Structures are given as C-alpha cells and as structure tokens.
Structure 1
C-alpha cells in the first residue's frame, strides 16, 4: 500500500473558506517573471478535487482542485501572450501558461450544460476566502495516470476523512443538472 497519499495541497492542509462574501480575485501563474494574471469578478461554484488526466495538478498531487465561474466574469489582466489552449478539441478550452504550465482558465464554448462557464484553479488566487472543495470527481481516473488500483480504498478514505466526498463522476447535483439540460434540449422536459 502507498504510504503517503498527496491528494492536493488544498485538501491535505484542510483548507477552509474564510470569507462568506468572497467575490472573486486574481489568479496568478507560477512564473516569477511576467506572470499571467487573470481576474475573476465573481465568486466561484462547485469547487472540487478532480482526478481526471486533463486538469493541471501541482507537482506530486493526485488531484487538481477546480471550480467554475461565469466566463463573462473572467478577464486576462496581464501577459495573455503567454497563454495557449492545451487541447483545442476538448470541451474545456484550457488556457495554460506556455512557460510554467499552469492552466489559468478554461471556458466551455460548445453546446453543453456548462456552456458559459470557465473552469479555474482557485488555489492560484492571490486572495484567500474562496470556498473549499466540496467533493471529488472522477476519482477512478487517477488509475489512468498510473496510480495503483489496489491503493484506491486508501485514496477514498483520505478524501472522506477530509470531508471531500468521492465520486467517479460529478456530484449528484451536477449530474442532475446535466440530465435536466439534456432532457430539456431533447424536449422530454418543458420547464
């Protein structure tokens, strides 16, 4: 069994929100020279640990921590020339710093329930107070990155001990939202 499991520094440190009225802030990449700065002009929602293989993760972490904000509230402030889309075919258009690799924001622009939202990594905020991760999504996906399947019970136990409920998809509320959007789009639901 793995002796040390590093979920993510935010989860491992038991980070908790410190400002019930958090209204956004400035995300900064890791570069010491000409860092990319992105302003988020609203609070974040659905902050969670993500085990997918596409999200940016800090060195040594099994999970990313990612939340969403309305794309209309996301603005590149400085050094946007250093940004490039990681995978133009992906649903989430992750704009990453070409020098340090940090994903700064990822809008959803295609026809999808999350269209109009941008995915961000709140630990990159200069400000404190943002909501702590409320759940873990795509937990089994860490196996796809090489994590030993036999150690998955320990990962799920650590997540639960950190008050981060593990799911192998999204949270029930988000899965309901996606299913509702799909049903309305297909005419199965009308309201």
Structure 2
C-alpha cells in the first residue's frame, strides 16, 4: 500500500467548511511564555494551501495554510515587541515572532494589487468557523523547498482528493486581480 501523502496537519485529515457568520478570532504564536496574539475581525478570504518558500510552515509540513484579511481588520493585541519583519524588501511584510519563528501577519503595503490586505495563517487560531482552504497555490515551488520532484504527482493527487485544485501560481480569480492591477497601472485598461 502506498504511503499517505501528508501535506499540513490542518488539512491532512480533511477540514470543515467555514461559517458564513464567523466573526473572527485570535491567532497565537507557539511561545508558551508571552505569546504574540493577533486579533482578526471577520472572516478571512482566499484561504489556500501554499507551496511557496516564503510562507511559514509548521515543522514537517510540505505546504502552508494561508489566507488574507483586510489590514484594518488585523490588530496585534499582545506582545507586539516580539515581532520583527522577516524581509523588509518583500511585497508581503511577514512579521514573525523572534522567539518561536511563527509568521503572525504579513501586510502588503507596496503599490500592488493586494495592497490593504494582510496574509495570515488561520491554523494559529483555536476558534472554529474560519473559511476552509479553497485551492492549492505555487505547488511546484515545494521542489525549491527540498521536496523531491518524483513526489509531485502524489502531492497534486492528494490535494485533489481533499477538494483543493492545485495551481502552480495563484487561483484564476487572484491572477485576474494581479493582471487587472498591472493593466490599469500601465494604462492598457481604463475604467
């Protein structure tokens, strides 16, 4: 019997759909002493399994689970002094806990289609009701993170089995948003 493909603890055994009336919750880093806490008001969007090499992943996970929320709905409510930006030149300014390394929030502040959104890892919350993952993004990028290429068919098959369509970029809706932004910026598309 083939070995089970494990992608991420939050999805390996399946997952529950989100609640339409979900009011939000609190993300908590992995520190036992003075954990960083981030409050998110309302539901997240575009939740997905991500294979990029920039996203934080729990130990042993092949993929991350990441979503976005409007930046003005995201507030650090405890121990902000423990946060530091991982790469100040990046589009997504990942703020990680300097003790446990968990990425707690990643606002987009540059002139970009995703400006005003903050990337988050919903599995850092104990509340139930968050939007379930919708798709897989940047799946081929796991190879850059050290996954052997001969595992890719199994990884994509497991994502499909979970109901998550695997893409080697973002979902069509998000790719359209990026293209619309670029077309408006260049003047090709006028409103």
Name the structure 2 match of 1:98.
Answer: 98
Q: Distance in 2 between matches of 1:43 and 1:18?
A: 9
Name the structure 1 match of 2:135.
Answer: 135
Name the structure 2 match of 1:177.
Answer: 177
5+ residue gaps, structure 1, are none
Secondary structure, aligned partner of 2:26: strand
Secondary structure, aligned partner of 2:10: helix
Runs (4+) of structure 1 exceeding 4 A deviation are none
Secondary structure, aligned partner of 2:144: helix
* Structure 1 vs Structure 2 CA RMSD: 1.1
Q: Distance in 2 between matches of 1:44 and 1:15?
A: 16
Kindly provide the CA deviation profile for residues 38-89 of structure 1, in whole angstroms up to 9, marking residues without a partner as x: 1111210000000001110011110000000011111110000110111111
Secondary structure, aligned partner of 2:11: helix
Secondary structure, aligned partner of 1:151: helix
Instruction: Pick closer, same or farther for the CA change 1:183–1:18 going to 2, 3 Å.
Output: closer
> Displacement of 1:126 after TM fit?
2.6
Name the structure 2 match of 1:56.
Answer: 56
Q: Distance in 1 between matches of 2:113 and 2:152?
A: 30
Q: Distance in 2 between matches of 1:41 and 1:132?
A: 17
- Given the two structures, how large is their TM-score scaled by the length of structure 1? 0.96
> Displacement of 1:179 after TM fit?
0.6
> Displacement of 1:5 after TM fit?
2.3
> Displacement of 1:18 after TM fit?
4.7
Q: Distance in 1 between matches of 2:162 and 2:58?
A: 18
Name the structure 2 match of 1:148.
Answer: 148
Q: Distance in 2 between matches of 1:90 and 1:18?
A: 30
- Given the two structures, how large is their TM-score scaled by the length of structure 2? 0.96
Secondary structure, aligned partner of 1:118: strand
Kindly provide the CA deviation profile for residues 131-189 of structure 1, in whole angstroms up to 9, marking residues without a partner as x: 11100000000000111101100000000000010000000111011111111111111
